[in-house]
Chain A
Amino acid sequence: MKLLLGNEAVAAGAIAGGVTFFAGYPLAATSEIHLAFFRSLQSPGAAVVAEDTDSAVAAALGAGAGGGLGATALAGPTLGAAEELVLYGTDFRIPALIAVLGGRSDFSERMESAEQGAASRLRLHRAGSPLPPVWVPASSADCYALAKAAAHEAVARSAPVLLYLDDVIAHLREPVLLPVGSGDAEATTADSPPSSPEPVELYRTRDATVIVVAFGIVARAARTAVRLAREQGLRAGLFRPVRLWPFPVAELEAAVGRERAILVAELNDGQVWEAIAARGSAGARGSVRSLAESREGMLTPARILAAIREAA
């Protein structure tokens, strides 16, 4: 058991999953990921400070094309041109592990507030190509497990796989159960491949009349809100997409029955709500509401509870 930042757990999980190479342009939001890779990948040239985000993604893909497995970490707003490279990797079947942080530029102001503003940008469209999978951890233990699983998935699918961390998950220090015998993040020999992670986590959805959809740190606040709602006699449930894209639509449709309301809680301007509402399918018979917060930096259980009460 170790206390790890989400960022540190990402690197540890990625290396346990078989990542052999890391390139990145360090920003404050991602720096712990870079540092952990530099400390763990000791062979010469295995960890590189790239000159920018594009070169970092290109180098990670190069490692994949050369028979290794490359990883990088970047901040949401720097995804811009790197997006082309991710899609190139998808089209040419090159594995890579790409961790994306938060949603704002790396300005030091407001670093204390969380953001999920890159959510919709990570839905990387290209006609005729599969959507690269994006996994969203909600704890340090999740960061480790999902990074490891994503590394395996990248190799199995021969494609880039993304992890998306909001600022709180990236910088929360929490216990992570590491495999026996592994040091800080030195489990270079991948232990037994994990089974694919479940794309969703459900909490008390069976008889719920209001289903809260939330991911990352908001899923944890929502879980508390659901518990409080139940104590007050409100039939609420939590649907957490662990895989944000492709969105687990079938799972949502299965969880949401007749006449149930959906409440999408997220730290941005309603990006995931927009994607769900636009489909119209899951919420066709109920309503799809948005609880979007892009200014205060956090959605508290109390605010989510109030929104549940309104939707019920």
Chain B
Amino acid sequence: MSVACAPSCGLDQLGRRVAAALERARISPRDRIVVTSGGCASFVADSIEGAHHRVPLGRSLPFGLGLASAAPSRAIYVFLGDGEAAGVGGNHLIHAARRGDRIRTLVVNNEVLGGPGGFPSPTTPLGGRTAATPSGSTSPGLDLAALAGTAGAAWVGREIVSAGESLDALLEEFATATPFAFLEIVAPCYPAFGRWNGFASPEAMREALAERALAVGRLWPRREALP
């Protein structure tokens, strides 16, 4: 089972935005190492020049831990999907945040296991329908940014993929944020999630995502109390 990808998820643009933010933050390709495994988040890394390790699914963060120790002059960026961040590598996220591993991790949260064709991920919201759960997910989704903050991350942010300039500003701050830094980017996956949940088009899904009451921007350390 697989789904055809729709360009509307915005991950291609996200990759370019991350690359541009790294450039603005003056983190050159020689100064950084990128780690990914499976999942759509690894596409983001394809736009980023320089050393890139693609490791077995679930183990990007601990691999980054070893890298950070052996290559102290390099910045370590780990790109995860919600499946790896909250599922197969979920425990690693908790402990990387708790230990304060010298890693900055960007999670693309599309709220579905889209690669295998559409299964609920740990972040799929309550009632969210997928190919595997057409009558709706029966458990609430995990709030990844809140989890990272609770576990001890020094810097936590969240934004939607289509946020434009505010996303660029957040990405730039993330590029040099105090590790362990955690940035959640919420992105729509129309083929594996949107079309199962009553959205007429990828654009309609993206608009609905923009209207959803997500706390976005830099969440931690906080400048002011959240609404």
A residues apposed to B, CB below 8 Å? 20-21, 23, 45-46, 48, 50-52, 54-56, 58-68, 70, 84-85, 88, 92
Contacts and interface: CB of A to CB of B under 8 A. Distances in A.
B99 A48 contact: yes
Contacts of B53: 62, 65, 92
A131 to B, nearest CB: 19
B64 interface: yes
24 contacts: A21-B66, A21-B70, A45-B68, A48-B69, A51-B62, A51-B95, A54-B59, A55-B65, A55-B91, A56-B62, A58-B63, A59-B65, A62-B35, A62-B64, A62-B69, A63-B67, A63-B69, A64-B70, A65-B53, A65-B70, A66-B33, A66-B67, A66-B69, A68-B71
Contacts of B59: 54-55, 58, 85
Given A45-B102, A66-B33, A66-B74, A58 B69 contact: no
A303 to B, nearest CB: 42
Given A48-B99, A54-B59, A85-B59, A60 B66 contact: yes
B62 A20 contact: no
B55 A68 contact: no
Interface string B48-91: 00000101101101111111111100100000000000000001
Given A65-B53, A66-B71, A67-B70, A59 B102 contact: no
Interface of B: 33, 35, 53, 55-56, 58-59, 61-71, 74, 91-92, 94-95, 99, 102
A84 B64 contact: no
Contact of B62 (A45, A46, A62, A64): A62
Contacts of B71: 66-68
Contacts of A46: 69
B66 A66 contact: yes
Contacts, number: 96
B91 A70 contact: no
A62 B59 CA distance: 10
Nearest to A68: B70
A51 B65 CA distance: 12
Nearest to A56: B62
A244 to B, nearest CB: 25
B70 A70 contact: yes
A68 B65 CA distance: 12
A58 B62 CA distance: 6
A50 B65 CA distance: 10
A61 B66 contact: yes
Contacts of A92: 53
A59 B56 CA distance: 12
A62 B58 contact: no
A68 B62 contact: no
Nearest to B33: A66
B66 A58 contact: yes
A51 B70 CA distance: 19
Contacts of B64: 62
A43 to B, nearest CB: 9
Contacts of B92: 51, 55
A88 B69 CA distance: 20
Listed residue (B67, B69, B74, B102) with the most chain A CB atoms within 10 angstroms of its CB: B69
Given A50-B62, A54-B62, A62 B67 contact: yes
Contacts of A85: 55-56, 59
Contacts of A58: 55-56, 59, 62-63, 65-66
A173 B62 CA distance: 33
B174 to A, nearest CB: 21
Contacts of A84: 56
Nearest to B60: A58
Given A48-B99, A66-B74, A55 B69 contact: no
A278 to B, nearest CB: 29
Given A55-B92, A62-B69, 17 more contacts: A23-B66, A48-B69, A50-B95, A51-B62, A51-B91, A56-B62, A59-B65, A61-B66, A62-B53, A62-B66, A62-B67, A62-B70, A63-B66, A65-B53, A66-B71, A68-B71, A70-B70
Contacts of B62: 23, 50-51, 54-56, 58-59, 62
A30 to B, nearest CB: 17
* Residue among A50, A62, A64 having the largest count of chain B Cβ atoms under 10 Å: A62
Contacts of A56: 62
Nearest to A85: B56
Contacts of A20: 69-70
Nearest to B61: A55
A70 B66 contact: yes
A70 B62 CA distance: 12
B52 to A, nearest CB: 11
